[in-house]
């Protein structure tokens, strides 16, 4: 279908974008548009105004600031995959990006857009949690920082309030013993995950599931078993311990728990943990 | 809204409604080689090149292409850039109804530009976002693989 009519502005600064949102009745920030425009075409949403943030230079690119990597919210998936700082310090993102939809979508879609949408089956929210990211937010009441741990509130629900937008993803450079693991089951490469795993192994491991619940969720019991030096089989058995798993059109909760056990066992094996 | 873009090498100006998708805009100009299929980013029939990268023409508004370079299958045909791919598609029967073909050609050209010697698995993965509802994938992969060999001096 065709989207309902809306107005369109293309500000050049974050301040202008936030002001445009505040002045409008019902506005949406347009980043890569790979979910928003599909939503509009399906007439699931009908805002008065789209605020195209794609030409705001301050929202683009990856840089190092001390012991942190800062990724602009408008940085496209294709740019993350090719970025030397990301390859060197955050290889988890490179592994994950290959599973984000298809090349034509990755050429437009952005990391900030994926986080702000908070699809429970998306890769980037889980990676943000696994990498202990902090998300920088700008809005009508100024700027603030929200930990990824506190950002995701449910299916398409985040800590962003009316008029707020993501501006950057700030990720502490992982300690050198920390190593990434990523595994995903989908019916076809590029489809939404049926069950997915993003993890960082090391002294303070983080094991994060996506497509298992209404938001990315840490496997705290499995993480604790890993810290205690338990064997891979025991850790994998704890894959979904204490986690409320929801079924969807792909699989029942029982099947998803099984997938999770298999994926965690595979990821631990790939990491050389047995 | 008034927009300007470099379309198939030519500078154009136009007045568009903000809600008009890039694919509908292009088709309205008579460039009907690009097809509008699912209109929500799944099928790939609307693939065009913006700033040298393949994108979904249904998930981009015409106003978002303001100031950018847009290439369609017509432009790539006229310049001869994909002549060998088109010949291989024809020779190997890599199209039946033809609805997906423009998108397949643009995406095929994209993988050959970034990965000159792709495996069949690479080709399938790169084309995984383009649907052929005649299900002629085998011949499409054959055609792309053949051109990869030809272009790499094979």
Give the DSSP H/E element, type plus range, for residue A126.
helix A123-130
The torsion angles phi and psi of B55, rounded to 5 degrees, stand at -140, 165
Half-sphere exposure of A92 (CA within 13 A, CB side): 30
> What percent of chain A clears pLDDT 70, i.e. is strictly above it?
100
Question: Using the beta-carbon criterion (under 8 Å), do B40 and A38 form an inter-chain contact?
Answer: yes
Question: Using the beta-carbon criterion (under 8 Å), do A2 and B39 form an inter-chain contact?
Answer: yes
Q: How confident is the model at residue B144 (pLDDT cuts 50, 70, 90)?
A: very high
pLDDT in tens, A169-181: 999 999 988 899 9
CA gap A157, A45 in Å, rounded: 15
Q: Are A98 and A198 in contact (CB under 8 A)?
A: no
Tokens of A204: 């303070």
Sequence-ordered list of residues with C-beta below 8 angstroms from that of A10, at least 6 positions apart, any chain? A51, A52, A54, A55, B63, B66
pLDDT at A184: 96
> Which of B39, B63, B129 is closest, CB to CB, to A101?
B129
Q: Any bridge partners for residue A207, and if so which?
A: A199
Question: Using the beta-carbon criterion (under 8 Å), do B19 and A52 form an inter-chain contact?
Answer: no
Q: What ipTM score was computed for the predicted complex, to two decimals?
A: 0.95
> Chain B residues with CB inside 8 Å of A37's CB?
21, 41, 58-61
- The answer on pLDDT for B24 being more than 80 is yes
pLDDT in tens, A68-79: 999 999 999 999
> What percent of chain B clears pLDDT 90, i.e. is strictly above it?
97
- The answer on pLDDT for B97 being more than 80 is yes
Q: Does B122 touch chain A (CB under 8 A)?
A: no
pLDDT at A274: 78
Hey, which residues 135-194 in chain A have their CB within 8 Å of chain B?
188-190
pLDDT average, residue stretch A146-174? 98
pLDDT at A190: 84
Q: Are strands A206-210 and B2-7 parallel, antiparallel or unpaired?
A: unpaired
Q: For residue B60, give the nearest of A104, A198, A174, A217 by alpha carbon.
A: A104
pLDDT average, residue stretch A98-104? 95
Question: Using the beta-carbon criterion (under 8 Å), do B58 and A37 form an inter-chain contact?
Answer: yes
How many contacts, defined by CB atoms under 8 Å, are there between A and B?
A: 84
- The answer on pLDDT for A25 being more than 90 is no
Task: Give the gap in angstroms from C-alpha B101 to the nearest C-alpha of chain A.
Answer: 16
pLDDT at A187: 87
Classified as helix, coil or strand, A50 is strand
> What percent of chain B clears pLDDT 70, i.e. is strictly above it?
99
Q: How confident is the model at residue A104 (pLDDT cuts 50, 70, 90)?
A: very high
pLDDT at A2: 95
Q: How confident is the model at residue A162 (pLDDT cuts 50, 70, 90)?
A: very high
CB atoms within 10 A of CB A150: 11
CB atoms within 10 A of CB A64: 12
Question: Using the beta-carbon criterion (under 8 Å), do A8 and B39 form an inter-chain contact?
Answer: no
Hey, which residues 39-58 in chain A have their CB within 8 Å of chain B?
40-42, 50, 52, 54
> Chain A residues with CB inside 8 Å of B55's CB?
104, 107-108
> Chain A residues with CB inside 8 Å of B130's CB?
102
pLDDT at A73: 98
Classified as helix, coil or strand, B152 is coil
CA gap A63, A69 in Å, rounded: 6
Q: How confident is the model at residue B96 (pLDDT cuts 50, 70, 90)?
A: very high
> Chain B residues with CB inside 8 Å of A5's CB?
17-19
pLDDT average, residue stretch A48-74? 98
Average model confidence (pLDDT) for chain A? 96
> Which of B39, B41, B126 is closest, CB to CB, to A34?
B41
pLDDT in tens, B35-66: 999 999 999 999 999 999 999 999 999 999 99
pLDDT average, residue stretch A12-40? 97
CA gap A121, A25 in Å, rounded: 30
pLDDT average, residue stretch A116-131? 98
């Amino acid at each position: 279908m065709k989207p309902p009519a809306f107005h369109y502005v293309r500000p050049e600064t974050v301040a202008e974008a936030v002001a445009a949102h505040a002045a409008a009745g019902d506005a949406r920030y347009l980043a890569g548009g790979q979910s928003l425009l599909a939503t509009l075409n399906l007439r699931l949403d009908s805002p008065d105004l789209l605020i195209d943030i794609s030409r705001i230079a301050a929202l683009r690119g990856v840089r190092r600031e001390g012991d942190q990597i800062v990724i602009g919210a408008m940085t496209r998936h294709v740019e993350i995959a090719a970025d030397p700082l990301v390859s060197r310090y955050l290889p988890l993102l490179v592994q994950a990006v290959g599973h984000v939809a298809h090349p034509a979508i990755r050429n437009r879609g952005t990391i900030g857009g994926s986080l702000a949408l908070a699809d429970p089956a998306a890769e980037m929210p889980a990676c943000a949690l696994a990498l202990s990211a902090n998300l920088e937010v700008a809005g009508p009441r100024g700027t603030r920082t929200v930990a990824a741990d506190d950002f995701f509130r449910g299916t398409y629900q985040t800590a962003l309030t009316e008029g707020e937008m993501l501006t950057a993803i700030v990720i502490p450079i992982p300690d050198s013993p920390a190593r990434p693991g990523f595994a995903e089951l989908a019916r076809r490469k590029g489809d939404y995950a049926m069950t997915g795993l993003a993890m960082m192994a090391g002294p303070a491991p983080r094991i994060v599931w996506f497509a298992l619940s209404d938001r990315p969720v840490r496997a705290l019991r499995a993480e604790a078993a890993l810290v205690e030096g338990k064997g891979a089989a025991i850790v994998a058995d704890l894959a979904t311990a204490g986690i409320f798993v929801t079924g969807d059109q792909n699989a029942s909760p029982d099947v998803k728990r099984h997938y999770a056990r298999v994926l965690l066992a595979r990821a631990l094996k790939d990491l050389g943990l047995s | 809204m008034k927009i300007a873009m470099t379309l198939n090498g030519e500078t154009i100006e136009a007045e568009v409604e903000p809600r008009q998708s890039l694919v509908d805009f292009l088709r309205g100009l008579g460039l009907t080689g690009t097809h509008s299929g699912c209109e929500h980013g799944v099928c790939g029939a609307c693939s065009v090149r913006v700033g040298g990268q393949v994108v979904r023409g249904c998930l981009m508004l015409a106003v978002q292409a303001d100031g950018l370079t847009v290439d369609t299958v017509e432009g790539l045909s006229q310049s001869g850039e994909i002549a060998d791919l088109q010949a291989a598609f024809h020779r190997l029967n890599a199209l039946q109804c033809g609805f997906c073909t423009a998108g397949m050609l643009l995406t095929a050209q994209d993988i050959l530009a970034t990965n000159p010697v792709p495996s069949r698995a690479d080709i399938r993965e790169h084309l995984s976002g383009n649907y052929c509802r005649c299900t002629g994938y085998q011949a499409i992969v054959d055609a792309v693989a053949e051109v990869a060999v030809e272009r790499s001096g094979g």
